[in-house]
Chains A and B, each alone.
Chain A
Amino acid sequence: MGAGAGGGRVTDTLSTEMPTKTDLPVPEKTDNGASATTSQASLRGELLRSMLLQRRFEERCAEAYALGKIGGFCHLYIGQEAISAGTMSVLRPDDYVVTSYRDHGQALARGIPARSVMAELFGRRAGCSHGKGGSMHLFDKSANFLGGHGIVGAHIPLAAGVAWAIKYRKGDQVCICFFGEAAVNIGAFHEALNMASLWSLPAVFIIENNRYGMGTAISRATANEDVSVRAAAYGMTGESVDAQDVFAVRDAVERAVAVARGAQRPTLLEMRTYRFMGHSMSDAASGTYRSREELEENMKRDPIVVLHDLMRKDGELSEGEFAKLDEEQKAICQDAWDFADGSPEPSVEDDLHADVLVDTTS
């Protein structure tokens, strides 16, 4: 990572190699070599579990959408799961997360129950937004998960405002903000990052660069495709990360969070990833704005496969253990489906007009 406050130095840690063991976090006390290995294996296992849960969950989302159980717009995160898993793994429960409409994976990685997310997608009262928000507007106050926002880039100032509130209260939390690479061209990005740096706010801005803003390739939309260099315009540290490698994500976010928590400086991280599905459920994964060959080439670096291969190589996970982990995630998703399918819709009588305003008459 580059220089801290105001340095404006931009570094590029984009890596095509697997992390070595020395890159991985180890416990402070390592008198017992076995315990360090166990800890590493358990961290890898947890990250693999998080990514698998997201993947299996969204495969069921696609199925539910086809069956008409999920309506409206539905944007899948498949291929990008290392970003949410790696990021959430370094956050404290009292940190804050603000994100865009491609939010299912992030909600799950933040620990919002699969039942609660699926019920929201099914438009049920038991959903995390009580059936009022849907796919694009997942909220959970108990997880400090502040949405799920549907206007590209418009939530970036919200994250700066959350970080402002942290500073106002002299807190040591951080606010994480996720958005796609297409959002860097909208004014809200510029306005928010300028103020976050001007006022030294504890925020980490994470660009999920999946290379397409809907159907428009970054090369057709952005004059300088190296989007993390935008940080220099705000005197902020910027960094690009190979986001198909969950430990590269975790490592970069961990450093940015430390700077936000300590020096209260914001960081801009570009996560280089690829979306394996269409922009939403209404476009094909390939064939119109990107080729099948390109898609297939990028799917070779599936973040789940990358981590699984690493663990297999290090003898940390047998085929049987992987299959068991996978089956557990599938069972969670089936349970979430059954729960959502069986839970009541919001009541027209009680819920339609509720929560437009806080009742201030009493």
Chain B
Amino acid sequence: MPVLTYREALTQALREELTRDERVFLMGEEVAQYNGAYKVSKGLLDEFGPMRIVDTPITELGFAGMGVGSAMVGLRPIIEFMTWNFALLAIDQVVNAAAKMLYMSGGQFPMPMVFRGPNGSALQLSAQHSQAWESWLAHIPGLKVCTPGTPADAKGLLKSAIRDDNPVVFLEGEMLYNTKGEVPDGEHIVPIGKAEVKREGGDCTIVAHGKMILVAMQTADALDKEGIAVEVVDLRTIRPMDIETISVSVQKTNRAVVLEEGWEICGVGAQVVDFIQRECFDDLDAPVVRVHQADVPMPYAKNLERAAKPDAAKAIAAVKKVMYLD
């Protein structure tokens, strides 16, 4: 199987879907001539031309709204935000327009569109450029929210998102673009709403998504050397959330740690813990522990940033805590 970067996997998905359906177009800042701020759309302008790969002014609210309007009359826009931090300027169009149009029109106007771009922190970009938005967006009925953590899932989920007749929020890991993995050629589809067990183990479940899959796998590797078998459940999609896969895993291991990049309060992990207490109350041998970013805006200084971010050391400590080994 070919080995691609996460970035190349996304480009492949875009190219395949642009070829398959001429209603699909990509619109955003620097997506065309500049080849994408993160080079995800590299080469696509030459292949598909300026009506389908569209450079916009710096005007997130405006072009997100244009995507909504074009979807109302049957096009299938992919709206790229250079990062999701800038998408806050357009959040009215995502939440008040795209998410609600089908419902408030009594089913007349579906929104077959994708809002995509990098999410979460990178390295020393400080407070305004280092945020994970999934808990905000997953709160909204009418949206689907995908958070691929591997190149194969990035391709398969993006193809599903583009083909979906609903508005899909697609959160790419800014630090994942250069990561590599095996990616099937051609028609590789990952269904939206299906989690995957990325690593099997019988002692403790770690539920994670997006970039935190890397941290979860590092944690599992490290603990394996100590004789602790961690099972890693990759949510892949935050809304709808695959409660079944989480439950089956926790019912097997009887212990869970929930790991996420975002903040604690009302975070994705809070929802996962709620599902676990509802579905697995009698199976738990210990309270579920959460690992997340410190409750501060992301600091710039290297040491402070490291301290604020969730990492393998924090996840290892959490697993030991739920196993009463600390």
Which one of A98, A133, A149 lies within 8 Å of B106 (CB-CB)?
A133
What's the Cα separation between A147 and B103 when bound, in Å?
Answer: 12
Which one of A127, A137, A161 lies within 8 Å of B66 (CB-CB)?
A161
Which one of A137, A168, A354 lies within 8 Å of B51 (CB-CB)?
A168
* CB–CB B57/A195 < 8 A: yes
A29 within 8 A of B: no
Q: How many residues of A sit at the interface, in one of the four size bands? A: 35 or more
Interface residues of A in 190-205 (CB under 8 A from B): 191-192, 194-195, 198
Q: Which residues of A contact B262 (CB under 8 A)?
A: none
Q: Which residues of B contact A139 (CB under 8 A)?
A: 104-106, 108-109
A266 within 8 A of B: no
Which one of B25, B97, B107, B108 lies within 8 Å of A149 (CB-CB)?
B97
Q: Which residue of B lies closest to A170 (CB)?
A: B51
Q: Which residues of B contact A165 (CB under 8 A)?
A: 69-70, 73-75
Interface residues of B in 105-155 (CB under 8 A from A): 105-110, 141-142, 144
Q: Which of A2-10, A72-80, A150-158 contacts B (4 or more CB under 8 A)?
A: A150-158
Measured CB to CB, the closest approach of chain B to A168, in angstroms, equals 6
With A188-B62, A188-B65 known to touch, is A133 a contact of B104 (CB < 8 Å)?
yes
Q: Which residues of B contact A198 (CB under 8 A)?
A: 57
Measured CB to CB, the closest approach of chain A to B72, in angstroms, equals 5
* 1/0 contact string of A119-154 vs chain B (CB within 8 Å): 000000001111111000101110000111111001
A96 within 8 A of B: yes
Q: Which residue of B lies closest to A157 (CB)?
A: B65
A164 within 8 A of B: yes
B19 within 8 A of A: no
Which one of A146, A163, A194 lies within 8 Å of B109 (CB-CB)?
A146
Interface residues of B in 64-121 (CB under 8 A from A): 64-75, 77, 92-93, 96-97, 101-110
With A132-B103, A357-B144 known to touch, is A192 a contact of B66 (CB < 8 Å)?
yes
* CB–CB A130/B142 < 8 A: no
A22 within 8 A of B: no
* CB–CB B62/A160 < 8 A: yes
* CB–CB A356/B59 < 8 A: no
* CB–CB A159/B107 < 8 A: no
* CB–CB B72/A158 < 8 A: yes
A348 within 8 A of B: no
* CB–CB B65/A140 < 8 A: no
What's the Cα separation between A159 and B97 when bound, in Å?
Answer: 12
* CB–CB A161/B65 < 8 A: yes
* CB–CB A162/B105 < 8 A: no
B61 within 8 A of A: yes
B205 within 8 A of A: no
* CB–CB A157/B104 < 8 A: no
What's the Cα separation between A154 and B165 when bound, in Å?
Answer: 22
What's the Cα separation between A98 and B73 when bound, in Å?
Answer: 12
Which one of A98, A147, A175, A187 lies within 8 Å of B105 (CB-CB)?
A147
Q: Which residues of A contact B62 (CB under 8 A)?
A: 157, 160, 187-188, 191-192, 194-195
Count of chain B residues near A, Cβ 8 A? 42
Q: Which residues of A contact B69 (CB under 8 A)?
A: 98, 146, 157-165, 175
B56 within 8 A of A: yes
B196 within 8 A of A: no
Q: Which residue of B lies closest to A203 (CB)?
A: B69
With A146-B72, A154-B92 known to touch, is A360 a contact of B166 (CB < 8 Å)?
yes
* 1/0 contact string of B45-61 vs chain A (CB within 8 Å): 00000010000110101
Q: Which residue of A lies closest to B51 (CB)?
A: A168
* CB–CB A194/B59 < 8 A: yes
Q: Which residues of A contact B65 (CB under 8 A)?
A: 154-158, 160-161, 188, 191-192
Q: Which residues of A contact B70 (CB under 8 A)?
A: 161-162, 164-165, 168
With A149-B97, A159-B69 known to touch, is A355 a contact of B61 (CB < 8 Å)?
no
* CB–CB B106/A355 < 8 A: yes
With A157-B62, A358-B102 known to touch, is A168 a contact of B108 (CB < 8 Å)?
no
Q: Which residues of A contact B144 (CB under 8 A)?
A: 357
What's the Cα separation between A149 and B165 when bound, in Å?
Answer: 21
Best-surrounded residue of B56, B70, B96, B109 (most CB of chain A within 10 A)? B70
With A132-B104, A165-B75, A191-B62 known to touch, is A356 a contact of B141 (CB < 8 Å)?
yes
Q: Which residues of A contact B97 (CB under 8 A)?
A: 149, 154-155, 158
Measured CB to CB, the closest approach of chain B to A183, in angstroms, equals 13
- Interface residues of chain A, those whose CB is within 8 Å of chain B, are 96, 98, 127-133, 137, 139-141, 146-151, 154-168, 175, 187-188, 191-192, 194-195, 198, 354-358, 360
Q: Which 3 A-B pairs rank lowest in CB-CB distance, beginning with the nearest?
A: A161-B69, A157-B65, A191-B62
- Other contacts beyond A151-B96, A161-B69, A165-B70: 8, CB < 8 A: A132-B106, A139-B108, A139-B109, A147-B101, A155-B97, A161-B77, A191-B65, A194-B62
